[in-house]
Structure 1
Amino acid sequence: MILQNKPKLTVVGAGPGDADLITLKAIKALQNADVVLYDALVNSELLMYASQAEQIFVGKRKGCYSYQQEQINELIVQRAQTKGHVVRLKGGDPFIFGRGAEEMEYAAQYGIETAMVPGISSSLAVPAYQNVPLTKRGSSESFWVITGTTKSHKISNDVALAAKSTATVVILMGMSKLPQIVSLFKAEGKHELPVAIIQNGTTPEEKIGVGTVDTIETVVAENGLSNPAIIVLGEVVRHRETLQKVYAEAKQTTTSI
């Protein structure tokens, strides 16, 4: 059998959820794909760009895996060798807690050409969609992006370190560890530090809860917030409320003229 495309793996970032946040380079990769392996957090609208390709769901939902990581690695190699160009479509950016690097390394061991197309990370885009800047002059000079749950299913030690800093802290995959996260920030005396939790960011199902380190657990319970969600801790969260006030004042001024 002669392959239309030579064996190749392209790991592609699908962005945080809004289909319009896909890059042109990612679309071109999908259009050239023979096989697409896609995750649960990928917007299904993006699959239309690969309508001629075999499409295989390899993600997980509510802790249930359709494929284990080892099986995904094997599937990438098998499809690349038998069909040609495999696109591994992953939510957000594949190099930010996405295991894209691992999959590329595995494919390369079998002599398969690899490429990577960056995606817009949820750690940046989801707060931005809610008017929360991760840096702001006078409020935050840097930001941390941390996984809330490590490979050993424990809270990352970096959360404790981040709690000591003045940086904005963005925690992915951390909802199950929220009580521990809150405790670490309270231990640093940051009871009144603003916190935003954004679920299903950049999608029509988006929900947000805003509070402080002291109140955020109550806010989560009252709003029914759960995964997939990101946690943002920092003074920059106040910008959202400030902007809303500026809009309201501007609207009132315009109306009175």
Structure 2
Amino acid sequence: MGPSHGKVYLIGAGPGAADLITVRGANLLAKADVVLYDALVTAEMLDLCPQALKISVGKRSGQRSAAQEHINEQLVECAAKYALVVRLKGGDPMLFGRADEELNALESADIDYEIVPGITTALAAAASVRQPLTKRGIARSVALFTSSTAPGESTDTRIPECDTLVQYMGGREAMLTAQRMLAANFPGDLPVIIIENCSRPDECSKALSLNELSQGLPASTGPVLVMMGEAMRARPKSGT
């Protein structure tokens, strides 16, 4: 690390609720000089760093966002000006967070950094709807995937070979996944749970089948996660 550089922390903000960030992440936010945050980071989360300069860097699917190259440049520039720089990412930095590009930029500039993990939305969603992603004798493997790609790349149409499938950035992409799964002979009654705005006050969820998912989803106002597989079948209720 160059002597004039500060340290950059890539911190996972978790799925949305401010109290689902890790203690380490919250402590660092409270000390940060500057915070570069994603569009999905809530105002309540930013209340944890009132002392910091806050820079929005977009990064929400379907909306205008700062180019990743520009974000990389901002990180390097901030590290030259401030002692403690936070890059605050929704969920976990190492899952669908483009961390690789940002780490490469920091390493190329010889800037010290640390990664603070966060709760990824799949785990928060499973907890919220009380449906384990794995179940003894039913599901022993989980795939977290997205069909979204970088600009100029073709959509990834592969279906992961796992018992439970969790598709991030759902919506139209999830409908197309369901259609491909039906074409590949997945059962039409395969259980599906969709969850929107996970862990936030306006969270909502719905159980449906693969057939129903293939017909599309209503327009969403926030991030959508889609969980598919026998592990999502409603659990029998114990007698009272």
Deviation (angstroms), 1:62: 6.2
Check if 1:175 corresponds to 2:171: yes
Instruction: Tell me what 1:205 maps to.
Output: 202
What amino acid is aligned across from residue 37 of structure 1 in structure 2? L
Instruction: Mark the CA change 1:45 to 1:226 in structure 2 (over 3 Å): closer, same or farther.
Output: closer
**CA shift for structure 1 position 42:** 1.2
* Alignment match, 1:54: 53
1:237 maps onto 2:236 in alignment: no
Q: Percent identity?
A: 38
Is 2:212 the partner of 1:215?
Answer: yes
Amino acid at match of 1:177: E
Answer whether contact 2:33 2:52 (CA < 8 A) is retained.
Answer: yes
Q: Is the 8 A contact 1:11 1:104 kept in 2?
A: no
Tell me, yes or no, if the aligned pair for 2:175 and 2:215 is still in contact at 8 Å.
no
Tell me the secondary structure at the aligned position of residue 215 of structure 1: helix
**Is 1:175–1:226's contact at 8 Å kept on the other side of the alignment?**
no
Q: Does 1:125 align with 2:124?
A: yes
Structure with bigger gyration radius: 1
Instruction: After TM superposition, give the deviation of residue 123 of structure 1 in Å.
Output: 1.8
Does the 8 Å CA contact 2:167/2:174 hold for their aligned counterparts?
no
**Aligned partners of 1:46, 1:173: CA distance in 2, in Å?**
21
Structure 2 match to 1:156 = 156
Residue 218 of structure 1: how far off its partner (Å): 5.0
- In the alignment, is residue 192 of structure 1 matched against residue 189 of structure 2? yes
Counterpart for residue 25 of structure 1: 24
Deviation at 1:25, TM superposition (A): 0.7
Return the alpha-carbon distance in structure 2 between the equivalents of residues 7 and 60 of structure 1.
24
Backbone CA RMSD of aligned residues = 2.1
Cα distance in 1 for residues equivalent to 2:119 and 2:44: 17
Residue pair 1:6, 1:85 contacting (<8 A) in 2 also: no
Give 2:174's aligned amino acid. L
Q: CA deviation at 1:148?
A: 2.2
Please say if residues 210 and 219 of structure 1, whose CA atoms lie closer than 8 Å, have aligned partners that are also in contact. no
Which ranges in structure 2 are unaligned for 5 or more consecutive residues?
Answer: none
TM-score norm. by structure 1 comes to 0.84
User: Residue type matched to 2:212 in 1?
Assistant: T
Contact 1:211–1:219 (Cα < 8 Å) also in 2:
no
Please list every run of 5 or more consecutive structure 1 residues that lacks an aligned counterpart in the other structure: 251-257
Residues 6-21 of structure 1 mapped to structure 2, 5 A cutoff: 6-21=5-20
Paired residues in the alignment total 236
Measured against aligned partners, the alpha-carbon deviations of 1:121-143 in whole angstroms (never above 9, x if no partner) come to: 01221122111211011210111
User: How big is the shift at 1:60?
Assistant: 3.9
Amino acid at match of 1:228: P
| TM-score between the two structures when normalised by the length of structure 2 | 0.90
CA shift at 1:201, angstroms? 0.8
The alpha carbon displacement at 1:234 in A equals 0.5
